[in-house]
Amino acid sequence: GWARAVRGLLLDVSGVLYDSGADGGVPIAGSAEAVRRIKASGLKLRLCTNETQATRENFVKKLQGMGFDVSVAEVTAPAPAACHILKERGLRPHLLVHDDLVPEFAEIDKTNPNCVVLGDAAENFTYANLNEAFRLLIGMEKPVLISLGRGRYYKETDGLKLDVGAYMKALEYACDVQAEVVGKPSKRFFESALAEMGVPPEQAIMIGDDIVNDVGGAQRCGMRALQVRTGKYRPSDENHPEVKPDAYVNNLAEAVDIILQQ
């Protein structure tokens, strides 16, 4: 029953379409063809990603180079959403993000920072850089920490890697502050993706490899959600005490097969 009355699909990217890595990553078998089948079927498609190591333009170019038929207009990502919040609230960020993401913040005033924006900074997560962010936050009368996601870890071709959530928690603990999360599993983030597709939550399915941020976040918005057994999926996910996917599928291709047969 989970596959019925679907008008739109939201897809996580890393771990569902491809496994990232230092060499750019490798597509997961059958995923490029699955995306083509989704688009040919007339279903609405949204890539709902917490990717914060590249601008959307460069991210999409990488996916296209792997054979995926996708466009920038089909991507919902945290950095543009964060820029909207910064402008709306007059916030000037100190950025602790990946070097390749910095261009997304080109139009944002960063002088005399009054908040910290944290992304998946990868090699930029040094002690010195994290300590600089800590000092700025601890010195603020009302510290504001904005995190582009709260993932614990993700999978690259050479194994699992710590994600932004681990560093977010360190700053929360040290500064006694609650981070504002932009990206999955934020309800506002999922609602934005649905609005961009023009599909109500009850007619959409989220497909991801993260039991908490993809599956749990989508279900809290009223969507159905599937967990793929690719990417950072671990067998222990199937015994999660709080989140139960609507179904498990071996990969994106299997999910698309079932949905398109309805």
Q: pLDDT tens-digit profile of 124-169? A: 999 999 999 999 999 999 999 999 999 999 988 889 999 999 999 9
Task: Please give the distance of CA 23 from its chain centroid, rounded to a whole number.
Answer: 20
Q: Is the pLDDT of residue 23 over 90?
A: no
> H or E element: which one contains 117?
strand 115-118
Which DSSP state fits 20? B
pLDDT of residue 192: 93
Q: What is the pTM of this model?
A: 0.89
C-alpha closest to that of 98 among 78, 112, 69 = 78
Residue 22 confidence (pLDDT) above 80: no
What's the confidence (pLDDT) of residue 20?
87
Examine the domain organization and report whether 206 and 174 are in the same domain. no
Segment 18-44 shows an average pLDDT of 94
**pLDDT in the model for residue 262:** 85
pLDDT at 17: 98
User: Where residue 215 falls among pLDDT bands split at 50, 70, 90?
Assistant: very high
Dihedral, 33, 46, 248, 214 alpha carbons, nearest 10: 140
Provide the domain limits for residue 147. Answer: 78-181
Is pLDDT of 18 > 80?
A: yes
Count of domains in the chain?
2
Which burial class, exposed, middle or buried, applies to 190 when counting CB atoms under 10 A from its CB (0-12, 13-18, 19+)?
A: buried
* Mean model confidence pLDDT for the chain: 96
Q: Is residue 2 part of a domain?
A: no
> What is the dihedral sign for C-alpha 234, 239, 242, 246?
positive
- Going by C-alpha positions, the residue among 43, 26, 25 that lies closest to residue 255 is 43
Same domain, 37 and 161: no
Residue at which a domain ends, from 137, 166, 181: 181
CATH of the domain at 130: 3.40.50.1000
Question: Is 125 a member of any domain?
Answer: yes
Residue 241 lies in a domain: yes
Q: What is the DSSP letter of 193?
A: H
Residue 121: predicted pLDDT: 96
Q: Are residues 48 and 167 in the same domain?
A: no
Average pLDDT of the residues in 3-30: 93
Same domain, 69 and 97: no
pLDDT tens for 64-121 read 999 999 999 999 999 999 999 999 999 999 999 999 999 999 999 999 999 999 999 9
Do 59 and 110 lie in one domain? The reply is no
| Same domain (yes/no): 174, 160 | yes
Tokens of 86: 């910064």
Q: Are 211 and 16 in contact (CB under 8 A)?
A: no
Do 175 and 105 share a domain, yes or no?
yes
The CA-based angle 161-151-4, given to 5 degrees, is: 115
Classify each residue of 102-126 as buried b or exposed e, where b means 16 or more C-beta atoms within 10 Å of its C-beta. eebbeeeeeeebbbbbbbbbbebbe
Q: Are residues 95 and 174 in the same domain?
A: yes
Residue at which a domain ends, from 181, 198, 217:
181
Whether residue 188 is found in the same domain as residue 73:
yes
Same-domain status, 132 and 257? no
